Amino acid sequence: TAIVGTFIIGITGAVIAFGDTLYYAHLDAGGTEASIAPLVATIKEIRIVHPFVAVLVSIFLLVLAWQAQRLRPSTVSRQLALLLSMFIALQIIAGILNVYWRVPVAMQLIHLLLADLVWIAVVLVSAQALRLSACLLYTSKGWHKWEEHIVVALDRHFDIAA
């Protein structure tokens, strides 16, 4: 769900960035609101979708990151949750500045870089939360980490312990 939400943010962001670029380029070239292309006008009308979806998905990602850190406590989990939180906060600030400064190319690139960093952090938080080392297996001798179970099984199979 987190990864799908991140994809949706990227898709809506790409469409809105394209529309904003055309819209402001048109106005900067001396065009008027009335002479703008219908597609660009439509994109401009739906531009609220991207920030709305981005804030909702960001809240969801933050909750997931901190839940993963709480359920699988470790230094790495905590650092990744903090890193994702920081990237999301910077991304939202960059998005606001992007609109405020009328989407300059440099700001678009910074916003895109931060989107990539958020994506990488989401993947790392997901991998940390789903890591196999946190999985426990129940055997006849009780609960064991899966690595311990594999080592015991390999020892028996290859007679390593003898």
139, β-bridge pairs: 142
Termini Cα distance of the chain: 48
Tell me the mean pLDDT per 10 residues along the chain, length 162.
89 89 84 82 86 95 91 88 96 94 90 95 90 59 55 51 47
Tokens of 134: 């946190």
